[in-house]
Amino acid sequence: MPGKVREMGIKIGRLPVGPKNCMTDVAGVQVGHITLDEPLDQDGAYACTGVTAILPHGGNLFQQKVTAASYVLNGFGKTTGLVQVNELGVLESPIMLTNTFGVPAVTQGTLSYMLDLNEDIGLTTGTINVVVGECNDSYLNSIRACPVTPEHAIAAIRQASTDIAQEGAVGAGKGMMCFGYKGGIGSSSRLVKVEQQEISYTVGCLVLSNFGQSTEFLAERYNASNRQSQSTLSPTDGSILIILATDAPLSSRQLLRVIKRCGIGLGRTGSHFSHGSGDVVIGFTTAHSIPHTTDQLMETRTQLREDHPVMNQLFAAAAEATEEAILNSLSQAQTTTGRNGHTVEAYAFHKA
């Protein structure tokens, strides 16, 4: 079975990784996948896609919101919910990932799940803001058949756990490509230590990679040349979704500053955020639990000082974790065959 790039001797950056080296190193964060890998009724049609759910904590996300922010590196993408996230600075639903035409079904399924959990939504309180992002997997997946259903979204949420997250061709990553090879889900984490106060913060990243041509991949940077011939494939409207989680006490504005640095990690691999690419970062911190209802006029939240050196460490952690997560999406993926017999080969990393 393929493994993470660290198992092959490729080390990214200077900061230490968490014990699982994935997003779920941030305490309480859960990740779940539902993968579709089956022929459809039409000739040559194939469901090669899925849904990935990211939950900031195991409680009721509508009743106990978390501080959040999003940032668009390049806007050729389709998402729901990010306007309100950026306006209010909070997240109140799972973050859901899927294929481009799966966004309506996944939004509906997530909405149904949250409505069942909260009988007050739309009656005695306001509506809910569901966050869904996508990449285009139409080379391997019969995207026009819309095989993803609302029930798949609900199942992905229910599958979510704090275990080591599956990576590669799973969940929303089943049909995705990266630098002309098989991509998909990748994850990594970093630990940021404040030695003087014996405090440690965790930064976890999960990506859905679906971008780039093989000639753009900076393989020499990692001493990771492919043992196979160079791929000529490239994703249609290639994109990447980057989800960053942390337990560092940040305001929404500070979190926005941190997640902007994810673009550095993406660029280090060789991406230039191409014209047809939907490159979007969504971040949240579990440091704040923000109740949906309260009788209090004022609320108090702790946040880091802007000029403390730990902020630069968090910037570095975001860049490093993103870069390694992208490489893990390549190294963990397996050769996949989808619609009309289309096949995308796994990238054959050399093992040190």
Taking only the tens place, the pLDDT of each residue in 118-147 is: 999 999 999 999 999 999 999 999 999 999
pLDDT at 227: 61
Active site amino acids: 239, 277, 279
Considering the chain, what is the average pLDDT of its residues? 95
Phi, psi values for residue 293, rounded to 5°: -125, 145
pLDDT at 206: 99
What percent of the chain clears pLDDT 70, i.e. is strictly above it? 97
Q: What is the mean pLDDT of residues 341-347?
A: 95
Whole-number pLDDT of residue 140? 97
Q: Would you state the pLDDT for residue 36?
A: 98
Q: What angle do CA 260, 263, 264 make, to 5 degrees?
A: 105
pLDDT at 325: 98
Q: What is the pLDDT of residues 77-95, one digit of tens each?
A: 999 999 999 999 999 999 9
Amino acid (one-letter) located at 287: A
Residues 6+ apart with CB under 8 A from 59: none
Per the CB < 8 A criterion, the answer to whether 171 and 230 are in contact is no
- Mean pLDDT for the stretch of residues 307-313: 96
Whether the full predicted model's pTM is greater than 0.75, yes or no, is yes
